[in-house]
Amino acid sequence: GQQLNQSPQSMFIQEGEDVSMNCTSSSIFNTWLWYKQDPGEGPVLLIALYKAGELTSNGRLTAQFGITRKDSFLNISASIPSDVGIYFCAGLYGGATNKLIFGTGTLLAVQP
Amino acid sequence: EPEVTQTPSHQVTQMGQEVILRCVPISNHLYFYWYRQILGQKVEFLVSFYNNEISEKSEIFDDQFSVERPDGSNFTLKIRSTKLEDSAMYFCASRTAHSGNTIYFGEGSWLTVV
């Protein structure tokens, strides 16, 4: 089945640093989504990317949909302690159901 | 802002018991999903539901599982004869009918099978 490989698995950074994480797939997706999950809660949508090559920002977050439609990256600038959590990329697999395939996640820890 | 709501937030059940997890999707959404996340692992697709029937299911979604939309607002996941390995966070999600629209998740129901 489709698999999304996310890297790095975890990051431990100082407050104020910039962060970059990426996601690659062997399959083509129509839409890429980035979610953040806090402990014990559901994934919360951060950014949605709909077109190959699209670069989208949401505050301190920037994400890009790769030209090949098989990869995406997420950057967080000037990290703050509340950025702590697990970040998941997800590919929206088209067809009748539009199910999401999730990446393996990147754990982000921010040291104040 | 409209949201997907799930109950219970946490349930502990004995192995072999039946469990029903409930979800109220966002009101104008037409596609409904259940996902599962075993502790420390990624979120996995279980099943999608549209027009009162299952549209797709994963290999995880075997005969032990069933879904139902008993009325106009609720969407339930039933797990018959629970096993220890069913312990996980179960997320309900929904979306509108427009292709490419994003999927919104509930806060999850944490199931512990003992």
pLDDT digits (tens, 9 = 90+) for A86-111: 999 998 876 666 688 899 999 999 99
Convert the pLDDT of each residue in B23-34 to its tens digit. Answer: 999 988 889 999
Q: Which residues of A touch B (CB under 8 A)?
A: 30-31, 33, 35, 40-45, 48, 50, 88, 90, 92, 94, 96-105
A102, B108: Cβ pair inside 8 Å? Answer: no
Cβ atoms of B87 and B108 closer than 8 Å: no
Task: Note whether A94 contacts B99, CB cutoff 8 Å.
Answer: yes
The mean of the pLDDT values for chain B is: 91
- Reading phi first (left if > 0) and then psi (alpha if -120 to 50, else beta), residue B52 is in left
Summarize pLDDT for B63-87 with one digit per residue, the tens: 999 999 988 789 999 999 999 999 9
DSSP assignment string, A41-58: S--EEEEEE-STT-EEEE
**Mean pLDDT in residue range B102-108:** 88
**Distance from A83 to chain B by nearest Cα, in Å?**
18
Cβ–Cβ < 8 Å for A106, A21 = yes
Point out the residue among B55, B99, B106 whose CB comes nearest to the CB of A42: B106
Work out the average pLDDT over B38-52: 91
Dihedral-angle region of residue A78 (phi above 0 means left; psi in -120 to 50 means alpha; beta otherwise) = left
Smallest Cβ–Cβ distance between B56 and the set A33, A48, A99 belongs to: A99
Strands A106-111, A10-14: parallel, antiparallel or unpaired by DSSP? parallel
Of A31, A40, A42, the CB nearest to B105: A42
How far, in Å, CA of B50 to CA of A3, rounded? 24
pLDDT at A111: 92
CA angle B102/B105/B110 to nearest 5° reads 160
Q: What is the pLDDT of residue B101?
A: 62
Q: What is the pLDDT of residues A28-68, one digit of tens each?
A: 888 889 999 998 888 898 999 988 999 999 999 999 999 99
Looking at residues A60-86, what average pLDDT do you find? 95
B56 touches chain A (CB under 8 A): yes
Do the chains contact at B102 and A103, CB–CB below 8 Å? Answer: no
Task: Please check the confidence at residue B99 and state whether its pLDDT lies above 60.
Answer: no
Q: What is the mean pLDDT of residues B16-44?
A: 93
From B6, which residue of chain A is nearest by alpha-carbon distance? A42
For residue A95, what pLDDT is reported? 64
